[in-house]
Structure 1
């Protein structure tokens, strides 16, 4: 079962993006340190947007990054759940464009819904 969902964007500058949202009053964190490739912007109690440095985003996204598309991510508890979920996507008529597998220490896959919107489903590392 999907445990959480969040939005992913590419950014030219992780540091500047973090500063921007902090100035707007959002809680901001850097999971790999302030010089790392990721900044998390908290949206209330359960929501978040994750901004990735453009080169890192390009490695995960099954499409060319732009300012008009967003990558929605979901996490599940086990690799088997990723595989079962992607099977359901295919059976329901979606397009699995990145089958389940290890992606640099994160197990997951990617798919498109019926309208071509992009999603990833992953097992969050501990």
Structure 2
């Protein structure tokens, strides 16, 4: 059985700027699933963010539903694991340097550490590391 994949679909105002933002974070673009209305950001072998123009995004939603303005409301938190505290910091720092914004203060519980940021459209991203020994116990 193939591993299950996740495709997080996000509406964006400026597709080219959003693609550039995620490339600056070290992710790649799958050009086979990219056109002038959508772009597939490859986060890992099983995790993808589909950046969709607002018009394209709206074509997938239920009739009559509005697109949330992520700069004003929170509909979802996208959370990624990191292999170390340093990798969590690297990704969050890269997001801030690429034009993203801070979302919350860093969280440090000793055995678990996390950072957060918003992308160019205000979508809230979390990146965290957890001590594997703590996760087992």
TM range (shorter): 0.3 to 0.5
* Structure with more strand by fraction: 1
TM-score by length of 1: 0.47
Q: Which has the larger radius of gyration?
A: 2
Q: What is the TM-score of this pair, normalised by structure 2?
A: 0.43
